[in-house]
Amino acid sequence: MITDLRLVLAAALIFSMPVPPACGSSESDLEETLQNSETGDEVWKAVREACLYAFPLVLMDLTKTLSTNTVEPDAKKGRAPVNQLMHGQGLADADFKTIVSPNVDTVCSQAWYDLSGEPMVYVLPETDRFCQVQILDAWTKTVCVLDQAGAYAVAHIGWEGDLPEGVTRIDVPTETAWSIARIVLSGEEDLPGVRVIQKNMRLLPLSAYVNGGEHTPEKGSYTQENDYVPVEKILSMGPKAFFDKANKLMKTNPPALDDARILTKLAAIKVGPGMDFDPSVLTGDVAVQWKNMIQSLASAFENEAAKFSAKLGQWTYFGAPIGDFGTAYAYRAAVALGGLGANTVDVALYLRTDVDESGKALIAEKTYVMRFKTLPPIKAGGFWSLTAYGSDHFLIDNPIDRYCINDRTDYVLNEDGSLDITLSKEQPDDLSNWLPVSGDYFHFILRIYTPDMDALSTWQPPVIRALN
């Protein structure tokens, strides 16, 4: 279920969401306004805002339900029972069609947490490469990123207890959490090194850790009805099912303090922690209006995402507050639909372009050169990678099975230190700097992990120039 917004925010450009229209009345008058509204327009505006607000919470829960719907860890399906690690097994290639814009630089290990009981201890081993563990709460906020070896107690913020010496506490404000470990590798031949790291990772209850580390995880369970596509599932839910789930989830995954204002507003339609949503407040043909509202939200996502898009030369990327959204609820919902698991910009940037320096679309009939005057600015331990995707957002099949060029590629620099990458369908004589493209249209994602944000302000991003 891991998408790299890494994977999919490029595809999320086809979805985006505008901020719902603000109500003209004050919050104290809203309930009376809703009750007295003859047309029901104010009610539907409030419902739309409530749906937008709760969308990431419900989608995270649906994703967790699918991702833990298994008896034992299943790497092929990307599943593991709750509070257990699922280790990815390899890199994507041109035959991989499970998710769009796949990352071909990292192998992921993930876990879904239920922190209602005791903390879970995550043991991160020493590594010889980039290895970071992102921990998110139930609202898709990045709580922290672990980048140093050690033992970490992932605990609900309300847990009271003592930790052993040497164990660092990570407070999560919700009972549900999700961790994504990203381990960089250099091709299939480097997989044994990744396997060693995964083998030495551990996730176990605090009580088992204190008692010496012996722990046999409980088996999970499988239910056929929980085999679904989370995005399709959430878009198929009716208002009663959606808000009942949201209200229930908010009891154990409480909203942030900054959400007090919107919760006061939404309480008028009985949306909030533990409330009982009453669908009778909805007027007109409820099924049709709800469907139209959902469709309008999805079709409008591009506009909202564009508001937070930053530009670097001919490249764009989704900027702050991605990964730590605060009250940018529309942006949070847009990112959730585009692809869960967004990092903050200081951890990773995902630059995208589908045009050349003149603004013309990139087409496979032409040959291009992409020039880096200087390589992407990264901090110690970081890496960069340039990946090509076809118009279908999948990897491009090619005779040498090369899908990206990165800081581990054996490329050849120019005498002045610049880097020229040949982008073409035809195979050149020298393959060192060749990134194959084909089909009709194509685009690129330039991933920069642990970017040097200070240097980025003056860095000149690569330029793509057509040769013919």
CATH (domain of 115): 2.60.40.1610
Q: Give pTM, 2 decimals.
A: 0.86
Q: What is the pLDDT of residue 4?
A: 40
Residue 223 lies in a domain: no
Residue identified by tokens 């257990």 is 84
Q: What is the pLDDT of residue 24?
A: 32
Are 185 and 295 members of one domain?
no
Residue 100 lies in a domain: yes
d(C-alpha 233, C-alpha 410), whole Å: 44
124 near 201, Cβ under 8 Å? yes
d(C-alpha 209, C-alpha 202), whole Å: 10
Which tokens is 427 given? Answer: 């195979």
3 state DSSP class of 20: coil
Are 257 and 199 members of one domain?
no
Which tokens is 308 given? Answer: 């937070």
CATH (domain of 410): 2.60.120.1600
d(C-alpha 241, C-alpha 277), whole Å: 9
Q: What is the DSSP letter of 95?
A: T
Q: What is the pLDDT of residue 306?
A: 82
Of 299, 317, 334, the one marking the end of a domain is: 299
Q: In what order do the strands lie in the sheet with 368-372?
A: 434-436, 419-424, 368-372, 463-466
Residue identified by tokens 């949201």 is 246
Residue 388 lies in a domain: yes
Question: What are the respective helix, strand and coil percentages of the chain, to the nearest 5?
Answer: 30, 25, 45
Are 103 and 202 members of one domain?
yes
Domain range for residue 452? 354-466
100 near 23, Cβ under 8 Å? no
Residue 158 lies in a domain: yes
Residue 156 lies in a domain: yes
Residue 161 lies in a domain: yes
Are 24 and 96 members of one domain?
no
What domain count does the chain have?
Answer: 3
Residue 109 CB contacts under 8 Å (≥ 6 apart), including other chains: 85, 86, 87, 88, 180, 181, 183, 198, 201
Residue 395 lies in a domain: yes
Residue 115 CB contacts under 8 Å (≥ 6 apart), including other chains: 154, 155, 156, 159, 172, 174, 175, 176, 177
What's the gap between Cα 419 and its chain centre? 30
Residue 79 lies in a domain: no
Are 102 and 151 members of one domain?
yes
Are 178 and 286 members of one domain?
no
Q: What is the pLDDT of residue 40?
A: 67
d(C-alpha 319, C-alpha 61), whole Å: 25
Are 200 and 237 members of one domain?
no
CA angle, 270 then 274 then 277, to 5° = 30
293-331 burial, b for 16+ CB within 10 Å, e for fewer? bbeebbebbbebbeebeeebebbbbbeeebbbbeebbbb
Are 114 and 206 members of one domain?
yes
**pLDDT digit of tens for each residue in the chain (468 aa)?**
434 433 333 333 322 222 222 233 333 343 444 444 444 688 999 999 999 999 999 999 999 999 999 999 999 888 999 999 999 988 888 988 766 788 899 999 999 999 999 999 999 999 999 999 999 999 999 999 999 999 999 999 999 999 999 999 999 999 999 999 999 998 888 999 999 999 999 999 999 999 999 999 999 999 999 999 898 899 899 999 999 999 999 999 999 999 999 999 999 999 999 999 999 999 889 999 999 888 887 666 777 778 898 999 999 998 999 999 999 999 999 888 877 888 899 999 999 999 999 999 999 999 999 999 999 999 999 999 999 999 998 999 999 999 999 999 999 999 999 999 999 999 999 999 999 999 999 999 999 999 999 999 999 999 999 997
Are 195 and 115 members of one domain?
yes
Are 109 and 44 members of one domain?
no
Are 96 and 203 members of one domain?
yes
d(C-alpha 254, C-alpha 260), whole Å: 11
Are 56 and 27 members of one domain?
yes
What's the gap between Cα 249 and its chain centre? 20
